Amino acid sequence: MIKRILSVGLLFILPVLVSGCFLTLGDLDKIFPVKIGPASISNIRVEPATLPGGVTQSVTVSFAYNHEDGDLGLKARVIVKLSGATVREESINLEKTSDTVRVPVTVSTPNTETNLSLEVVVVIGDQMSASLPATIHVAADDDRDGVSNREDACPNEAGGPANMGCPVPPANTPECIWFVDGWTPPIKQVRFVRVGRQIFAMVNEPDENIDTDVPDVVFAWVMVPHTNDLEVFRLTEIGGSNTGIFAGLGPLLVQRLTPAVQNDGELSVWDGDTMLLFYGDVNNFSQQCMAQARVGLGD
């Protein structure tokens, strides 16, 4: 009699615990793998999970399966749907008790910030099937170079992924300006500067190597279109007094809520802003150089 009372009580209590105070049935679906007869499907992933806008690119949809009874004589049919339309269908032999299945899918993205909804349908045998959702985030890419605006140091000028979305300067450029990581060799060009640090800049300007006995000086300016801030700073000839290569420490990058004040020694920026670095040859105004770099709160 006591066992019967306990059994009846559990029938009423467990649904309350699941659907009320503790977990919903939807929560349980998220925590535990999806069952397909003797198999279970879990860990649905899309790599890369973020794509630039306006491109056609291949992504990999993957999921893990586990065959509880060890029956490996079945095939799995994987159907990937994008916005309800089938974009890939593939038949896979289940050759292991547990494994990860990877399916390549070609996706065309709109050039706007949005999320694309994927549906992965897995069919095992004739009657066992499950549907799993996945999402691809699309980031805008205004210059259509395959690097999203968020990751592009030159979002308005087409470049390449290897150069953070910026074009590579021609090899025969006689003079140019760069954002660099300092002036202690080996000097490296950078396309990202963290908020709270100062700018390092370098100019190759043989025309301004006027005094071969004393290091010469040139000036550059940096601006942020988003905050309308502009700072001018000095670059001094390095490596001796007869090199024509100049380097200097620029303004401190500061994120502030108040309006920017130009030429106060601090460059007002926001996370994700683009900085423009300029240099003009005073002897030939047709020869000017510009560099771009992105600003961020993290590394």
Over 70: is that where the pLDDT of 6 sits? no
* 151 occurs within a structural domain: no
Least confident of 49-58, 203-212, 279-288: 279-288
Residue count (the chain): 299
**Same domain assignment for residues 116 and 218:** no
**pLDDT (tens digit per residue) in 96-121:** 888 888 999 999 988 888 999 989 88
25: in domain = no
Domain that holds residue 70: 36-139
**Are 184 and 284 members of one domain?**
yes
* 166 φ, ψ (degrees, to nearest 5): -100, 150
pLDDT band at 284; cut points 50, 70, 90: low
Residue 274 and residue 179 in one domain: yes
Structural element, H or E, at residue 16: helix 2-16
Q: In terms of pTM, does the model score above 0.85?
A: no
Whether residue 41 has pLDDT greater than 70: yes
Q: How many CB atoms lie within 10 A of CB 265?
A: 12
Q: How many domains does the chain have?
A: 2
Give me the CATH number covering residue 122. Answer: 2.60.40.150
Same structural domain for residues 207 and 268? yes
Q: Is residue 283 part of a domain?
A: yes
143-183: per-residue pLDDT in tens?
877 777 776 656 777 776 655 566 655 444 444 788 988 87
Are 246 and 216 contacting, i.e. CB atoms less than 8 angstroms apart?
yes
φ, ψ dihedrals at 208, nearest 5°? -95, 10
Shared-domain flag, residues 108 and 204: no
Whether 182 and 133 share a structural domain: no
Q: Which residue has the tokens 């349980």?
A: 28
What's at 85, amino acid-wise?
A
Select from 85, 118, 139 the last residue of a domain: 139
**Three-class DSSP category at 84:** coil
Of 119-133, 228-242, 253-267, where does mean pLDDT reach its minimum?
A: 119-133
Q: 227: domain CATH number?
A: 2.60.40.1930
DSSP code for 17: I
Q: Is residue 29 part of a domain?
A: no
> Which of 228, 231, 207 has the alpha carbon at shortest distance from 270?
228
Report the largest interatomic distance among the alpha carbons of the chain, rounded to a whole angstrom.
107
- Predicted confidence band of residue 42 (pLDDT cuts 50, 70, 90): confident
C-alpha–C-alpha distance, residues 33 and 98, integer Å = 13
